[in-house]
Structures are given as structure tokens and as C-alpha cells.
Amino acid sequence: NAGVTQTPKFQVLKTGQSMTLQCAQDMNHEYMSWYRQDPGMGLRLIHYSVGAGITDQGEVPNGYNVSRSTTEDFPLRLLSAAPSQTSVYFCATGTRQGLRGYTFGSGTRLTVV
């Protein structure tokens, strides 16, 4: 089992560019989510999904889009990158019941210049 796979691991964007961060899981988890991690601010939820075709906003959704067309994939789209989106992004997945917590990907370090 690969678990949760995030690509790319590193990315540098110019202000105004768009890109998609990929998250794929092979654990048949219903719940998938995206967090950003910034120094001193912990983990902040961007978007989450409780199943294919269902997504919802977290704490900091502005500037990001998501979709969930399959159980396995949950891509995060940056529409027009801004320096404030420089961060480390983590995908986290879990079962619907949530009794085992989350499984995290290894992260994508994004720099917007």
C-alpha cells in the first residue's frame, strides 16, 4: 500500500500562475482534506470532502478550489497564486467514522515569488 501520495514535493510559482497539487490514496478512505502549515499557526483546514462528489470549505478556502470525482483523488487547485500562499500543504485522509485519526501525505512545499 502506498497510503497517501502527494505530488509534487516542491514547487516554485510566480505570482498569478495557477497549479494543481495532487493527492491520491489507496486506502478507500471516504474522508479527504487539505491543510496548510505555516510557522506558529499550526495546521489550518482549506477544504475537505466526505466522499466522491461532496466537498466543503474549511477555515481558509479563499484562493483554492477542490473537486472529488473519485474516492482515490482529491486535487487542490490554486487559481492565481499569491505570495501569501507560500506554505507547506498536507493532504490527510480518514475513514468516515474517524476512529483511527488521519493518515497524512508527506507534503508539498510551495513557494510563490
Partner 1 sequence: AQSVAQPEDQVNVAEGNPLTVKCTYSVSGNPYLFWYVQYPNRGLQFLLKYITGDNLVKGSYGFEAEFNKSQTSFHLKKPSALVSDSALYFCAVRAPYGNNRLAFGKGNQVVVIP
Closer to partner 1 at the Cβ: 53 or 96?
96
Closer to partner 1 at the Cβ: 10 or 14?
10
Q: Which residues lie below 8 Å from residue 63, measured CB to CB, with a gap of 6+?
A: 78, 79, 80, 82, 85
Q: What residues numbered 88-107 form the site for partner 1, per CB under 8 A?
A: 90, 92, 94-107
Distances (CA, A) of 75 to 7, 31, 37, 100, 113: 10, 13, 17, 23, 22
Closer to partner 1 at the Cβ: 54 or 113?
54
Binding track over 25-64 against partner 1, x by CB under 8 A = -----xx-x-x----xxxx-x--x-x-------x------
